[in-house]
């Protein structure tokens, strides 16, 4: 699936800046031809050939351009780029990473760490074989220019990517500077996909861009790109303002998304969502989506401490607070349907608790997109109807949820409309407990719900 997605992305538009054309001699072409899996028509051919001719990339049988680039490869190629440019640099005698062996990559990792181009993880590891995301690549590329004292000319603009607000806080300024320097571009729809892995072909294009910048720095006295950390972070405040001004929280109907859309999605909910969880477990109707649900879970009790009797979701055998479970699951799209179990305390109180809960989720998972699902209605004959819990209260709460989503740049999906009849009550044919509660779903309703989610998917 990863290779398929990579090919689709490449076919639509190259995400990263192409290197300037290079004039090859016959000898150069023969050297580039060592890689039997790169034809002269490939979009990254010039970049690989130019890096090869500058001794940044060593010859080999295959280049494996579509394979994800490992962290150690990035360190090694940047180290070779540094040497090719003749830049003198401090090199640490050792590295503080327990998982970096004294092999061909050791000096490169030591150099990159000493000069603050790379960093490790909190567990004292470098994870040399791990993949690198596009936003991480932007960070490393701009840190290289900062370390080398190279000032790139401005080639791009300050306009945001369609998914700029999904860029992690630490990488935001670097992503903008990379865009300004022409190191990265968006695809045809202006998406960067900051958390997608960098493939080796893209790495070659980025390295070749750095080489070109180093050989052709910004002329003295001309405006240049500031590659230092935090230089462009304030721009994100304007991005957020712009998004909220033009943002439409309500998700309308569109073409059905591929099931892979839900691979990084987590569903937070109560017993109503548990029915969808069981249906999806047997049908795979939402692909590899993760469900973090618990019976009687509410925006109120989700804020309480975890105890043996508390209402919290279980993830991999451990009961966790919602925000911790979402973070542990690595959720990037967080679907939330909560409220029916605490609406008796009042709509405003429930909205306040929901706001607090989402703030906790966002604090632990800052890259996650929040998607609120409307609470679904009760049947017309629901035996639990009271003056504090009824369809009017539910729909009032849902309208407040939409306002909350619009105000904060979250998405809102009106699931209620796909399971309600013309009278706005839950269809009796969709209810699994008409005699006892009148709010839970059967698998027929879950099927309708899952299909609705596929045709009402935020474009993120």
- Give the position of tokens 């072409």: 29
Cβ-based neighbour number of residue 129 at 10 Å: 11
pLDDT in tens, 188-220: 657 788 888 899 999 999 999 999 999 999 999
Cβ-based neighbour number of residue 220 at 10 Å: 7
Chain-centroid distance of CA 457 in Å reads 15
Beta-bridged to residue 16, according to DSSP, are 184
Query: What's the pLDDT band for 3 if we cut at 50, 70, 90?
Result: very low
From CA 70, how far away is CA 74, in angstroms rounded? Answer: 6
Helix axes 322-329 and 347-364, enclosed angle (nearest 10): 40
The whole-number pLDDT of residue 28 equals 44
Are the CB atoms for 90 and 114 separated by under 8 Å? yes
Task: Give me the percent of the chain exceeding a pLDDT of 90.
Answer: 69
Cβ-based neighbour number of residue 102 at 10 Å: 10
| 3-state SS assignment for residue 108 | helix
- Burial-class residue 62 by CB neighbours within 10 Å (0-12, 13-18, 19+): exposed
Locate 354 and state its tokens: 């929901």
Higher pLDDT, 30 or 405: 405
Cβ-based neighbour number of residue 305 at 10 Å: 7
Domain ranges (residues) in the chain: 2-69+131-244, 259-455
**Overall average pLDDT of the 449-456 stretch:** 97
331: nearest Cα among 319, 323, 339, 343:
323
pLDDT in tens, 39-86: 888 999 999 999 999 999 987 889 999 999 999 999 999 999 999 999
Q: b/e per residue, 403-412, with b = 16+ CB within 10 A?
A: ebbbebebbb
**Reduced DSSP (H G I as helix, E B as strand, rest coil) percent helix, strand, coil of the chain, to 5:** 45, 10, 50
Q: Please determine, for residue 159, whether its predicted confidence score (pLDDT) is greater than 80.
A: no
Options 3.20.20.140, 3.30.70.2860, 3.30.420.40, 3.40.50.1110; CATH of 259-455: 3.40.50.1110
Length of the chain: 460
What's the mean per-residue pLDDT of the chain? 88
Locate 324 and state its tokens: 């911790």
- Burial-class residue 278 by CB neighbours within 10 Å (0-12, 13-18, 19+): middle
């Amino acid at each position: 699936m990863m290779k398929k997605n990579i090919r689709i992305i490449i076919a639509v538009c190259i995400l990263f800046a192409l290197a300037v054309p290079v004039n090859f001699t016959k000898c150069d072409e023969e050297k580039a031809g060592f890689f039997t899996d790169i034809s002269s028509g490939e979009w990254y051919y010039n970049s690989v050939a130019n890096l090869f001719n500058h001794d940044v990339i060593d010859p080999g049988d295959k280049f494996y351009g579509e394979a994800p680039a490992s962290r150690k490869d990035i360190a090694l190629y940047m180290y070779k780029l540094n040497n090719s440019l003749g830049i003198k640099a401090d090199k640490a005698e050792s590295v503080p990473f327990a998982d970096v062996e004294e092999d061909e990559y050791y000096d490169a990792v030591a150099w990159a760490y000493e000069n603050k181009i790379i960093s490790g993880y909190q567990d004292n590891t470098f994870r040399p074989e791990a993949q690198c995301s596009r936003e991480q690549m932007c960070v490393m590329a701009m840190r290289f220019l900062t370390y080398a004292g190279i000032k790139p000319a401005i080639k791009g603009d300050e306009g945001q990517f369609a998914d700029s607000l999904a860029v992690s806080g630490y990488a935001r300024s670097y992503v903008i500077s990379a865009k300004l320097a022409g190191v990265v571009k968006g695809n045809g729809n202006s998406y960067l996909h900051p958390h997608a892995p960098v493939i080796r072909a893209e790495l070659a294009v980025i390295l070749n861009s750095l080489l070109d910048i180093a050989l052709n720095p910004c002329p003295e006295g001309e405006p240049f790109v500031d590659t230092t950390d935090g230089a462009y972070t304030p721009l994100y405040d304007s991005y957020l303002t712009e998004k909220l001004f033009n943002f439409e929280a309500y998700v309308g109907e569109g073409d059905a998304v591929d099931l892979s859309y839900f691979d990084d999605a987590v569903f937070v909910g109560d017993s109503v969502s548990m029915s969808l969880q069981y249906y999806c477990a047997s049908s795979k109707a939402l692909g590899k989506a993760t469900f973090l649900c618990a019976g009687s879970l509410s925006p109120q009790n989700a804020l309480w401490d975890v105890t043996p009797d508390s209402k919290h979701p279980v993830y991999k055998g451990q009961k966790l607070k919602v925000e911790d479970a979402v973070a542990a699951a690595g959720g990037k799209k967080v679907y939330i349907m909560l409220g029916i179990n605490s609406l008796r305390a009042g709509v405003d109180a429930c909205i306040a608790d929901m706001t607090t809960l989402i703030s906790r989720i966002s604090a632990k998972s800052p890259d996650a997109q929040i998607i609120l699902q409307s609470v679904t209605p009760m049947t017309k004959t629901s035996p639990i109807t009271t003056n504090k819990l009824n369809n009017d209260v539910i729909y009032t709460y849902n309208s407040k949820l939409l306002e909350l989503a619009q105000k904060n740049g979250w998405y809102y999906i009106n699931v209620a409309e796909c399971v309600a009849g013309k009278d706005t009550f839950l269809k009796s044919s969709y209810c699994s407990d008409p005699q006892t509660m009148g709010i839970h779903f059967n698998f027929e309703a879950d099927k309708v719900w899952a299909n609705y989610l596929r045709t009402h998917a935020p474009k993120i």
